[in-house]
Amino acid sequence: MSRLLIVEGLPCSGKSSVARFAAETLQQAGKIVCFMDEGTGNHPADYEFHALADGQIIPLSQVSPEELPALLPRKIYDGLPWETEAPLMLDKWRQFVREADPETVYVFNCVLLQNPMCETMMRFNLPEEASAAHIRQIAEIIRPLAPLVIYLHNDDVARSVQQSAGERPGWLEAVIGYHVDGGYGRSVGAAGFDGYIACLAERQRREERILEALPLRHLTLVNPQRNWPAAHAQLRAWLKEGTV
C-alpha cells in the first residue's frame, strides 16, 4: 500500500486542486491523510522557508523582523550554493521517511520535481542529468513508502499563467524575474513573459522525461483544468485500483 502521493506539474496547472481532491478521496475511503500544500508552513519533507546559520537550520517564520535580513542570504532555497543545499534536502527526505506515521497517507504538492528543478535547472543551470540524478536519489529514499506521482501536463502554459495572474497581484512579475534572471534563463537569453513561458515549457519537457525514467508508478493528467469532472473521475478510478 502506498503511503505517499505527490502531485507535480507547472505553475497554474492545478496542482493544489488535484492534491486536495486526492486527499479528500483518500479520506472518504477511510484513510488517515496528511495533506501538505506548497507554502503552508513547516513541511515534513522540505525546507520551504528556512536558513542555515552557524550549522543550525532556522525556521525563518520564527525569527524577528530585525533578524530576518541577516538570515535571508543563508536561506536554504535561493541563498546557499547547490553543494551545500543538496545534502540538506536529501537529509530532510530521509528524516521524513524515518518519522512518517505508518498509518498515514501523505499527500504532497510539488516537492519531488518542481522544487528540485527550480533549483538545479532554473537557478543553477545544471544539465538535465544532474537534475535527474538528484531526483533519483529522492526516489530511492522514499521507496519504502511505495510512492505514487500524479503529473499534470499543460499544453497551453501561457494561457494558464495569464488566467491565474489576475488572481495573484504581483506574482507574475516576481516569477518572470526569478526565471529570466536565473542561471537557465540567462543561458538562453530569456526575457519577459515569453521568456518565462519558454523556460516553463522546457522544464515540463525535462520533468516528464525524468519522471518516465524513475521507478515510480505515476499517472499523467492532461490539461485537467479544462475539464475538472473528467480529471477527477480519472484520478478517482486510478486510486480505486488498489494502488493506495
pLDDT at 242: 55
Grid cell 538545479 is found at 120
The CATH class given to the 4-45+80-243 domain equals alpha beta
pLDDT at 243: 53
Q: Domain residues of the chain, as ranges?
A: 4-45+80-243
pLDDT of 41 strictly over 80 = no
DSSP for residue 123 = I
Task: Give the residue-averaged pLDDT of 207-223.
Answer: 97
Task: Give the residue-averaged pLDDT of 169-195.
Answer: 95
Grid cell 473521475 is found at 233
Cβ neighbour number for residue 1 with a 10 Å cutoff = 9
Q: The pTM is what?
A: 0.94
pLDDT of 241 strictly over 80 = no
> In Å, how far are 12, 115, 180 from 168, measured between CA atoms?
11, 20, 19
